[in-house]
Amino acid sequence: MEVILAEHAGFCFGVQRAVDTVYEKIRSRGKDEPPIYTFGSIIHNEEVVSDLQRRGVNVLSSLAEAEQIPKEGRGTVIIRSHGVERSVFERLKELGYQVTDATCPFVKRIHDIVERESAAGKSIVIVGDQGHPEVEATRGWSHTKTYIIGSLEEAEKFMPGEGEELYIVSQTTFNYKKFQDVVEILLKKGYNVGVVNTVCNATEVRQTEAGELAARADVMIVIGGNHSSNTRKLYEICRQECEATYHIRTLDDLHLQLPETVRLVGITAGASTPNNIIEEVQNYVRINF
Ligand code: F3S
């Protein structure tokens, strides 16, 4: 029986980089140095967050929390891959924290574009989900008005001010096709727009690859948190191709009885599933079946 792990299972480049940054900081921290924090959970994975907590890394959920930490306890704050508003950076520094920026470079690029184009007087349109932390962070780099458009209906209803010049960017995880459709609607309305596609293809690559693997596999295992929407999406894609698709959070959830006829087991994992969990499952299936 063959076991194949999808090449792009688990963390994308930006998340891996952010998680590595935290572990690197833990290793290089001197004995008497003040603690390390992350601004928000570094990833949505309970195992990783509790492991970091055991190693003394705490989560600051807001600036108000950062303000409450006594001065002598204000150590390093690591910014996660989603990024934060410019005002958050500035305030953390003012409060005396050392800020380590682990914003994904693809997200940072959007911040730079937004800063530059808004400084040139353009209003910013972010095609993305209202309230998503990445979108909120991006709008915080604009010097001018920002608009968020999350659907084709919103694009149809959208009305900027008279003569307003617009610059359009997208949330990195937004659906590329939908982004194109929104842009097309705005262009058709004849607005004065500049546009740059800032969708990151990491999610799409992971999904396409998982679907292809599931189409060949007799059994497909999808690893990821119960609340991870991208894991659920992966599960749905794989299930369409392979009826025997199982969603597990960790190895403990795996209770497989594989019939003799099974020739190929495929494994993939959501964007917030750490490598060690993927490895554990992979090794278990290789050894036990
Ligand atoms: Fe990941 Fe960065 Fe893309 S965080 S999804 S590689 S924008």
Pocket mutation for ligand 1, best pick of 8, 12, 19 (most atoms within 8 Å of C-beta): 12
145 neighbors 118 (Cβ within 8 angstroms): no
| Ligand 1 shell residues, CB under 6 Å | 12-15, 81, 104, 106-107, 172-173, 200, 202-203
* Rounded (10°) angle between helices 46-54 and 13-28: 10
pLDDT value of residue 144: 97
Q: At what angle do helices 105-119 and 13-28 cross, to 10 degrees?
A: 100
- Give the atom of ligand 1 at the shortest distance from the alpha carbon of 200: 3
| Atom number in ligand 1 closest to CA 201 | 3
Atom 6 of ligand 1, nearest CA residue = 14
pLDDT of residue 156: 96
* Residue 184 in tokens: 């097309």
Task: Please report, for residues 109, 166, 287, 289, the alpha-carbon distance to residue 126 in angstroms, rounded to integers and kept in the order given.
Answer: 14, 10, 48, 48
Q: Cα of 69 to ligand 1 centre, how many Å?
A: 31
Q: Which atom of ligand 1 is nearest to the CA of 107?
A: 7
Distance 202 CA to ligand 1 centre (A): 6
Q: How many residues does the chain have?
A: 289
Specify the pLDDT at position 46. Answer: 80
Q: Tell me how far apart the terminal alpha carbons of the chain are, to the nearest angstrom.
A: 7
Q: Angle 229-241/202-216 helices, nearest 10 degrees? A: 30
Q: In this structure, are residues 203 and 230 in contact, taking their beta carbons and an 8 Å threshold?
A: yes
How many CA atoms, within 13 angstroms, populate the side-chain half-sphere of residue 220?
Answer: 26
Ligand 1 centroid, distance to 218 Cα (angstroms): 31
Catalytic positions are 134
pLDDT for 112: 98
The amino acid that residue 217 corresponds to is A
Question: Residue with the nearest Cα to atom 2 of ligand 1?
Answer: 14
Report the distance separating Cα 49 and Cα 57, nearest Å.
9
Q: Report the pLDDT value the prediction gives residue 31, as an integer from 0 to 100.
A: 84
Q: What is the pLDDT along the chain (289 residues), one digit of tens a residue?
A: 899 999 999 999 999 999 999 999 999 998 888 999 999 999 888 888 899 999 999 999 999 999 999 999 999 999 999 999 999 999 999 999 999 999 999 999 999 999 999 999 999 999 999 999 999 999 999 999 999 999 999 999 999 998 899 999 999 988 888 999 999 999 999 888 999 999 998 988 999 999 999 999 999 999 998 877 789 989 999 999 999 999 999 999 998 888 888 999 999 999 989 999 999 999 999 998 7
Token pair listed for 218: 């007799």
> What is the reported pLDDT for 226?
83
Eight-class DSSP state of 34? P
pLDDT of residue 202: 93
Range list of β-strands (E), 136-251: 146-149, 166-170, 193-195, 219-223, 245-248
Cβ(75)–Cβ(22) under 8 Å? no
If you measure from the C-alpha of residue 166 to the centroid of ligand 1, how many angstroms do you get, rounded to a whole number? 25
Between CA 186 and CA 188, with CA 187 as vertex, the angle to 5 degrees is 90
C-alpha span between 76 and 60 (Å, rounded):
11
Model pTM score: 0.87
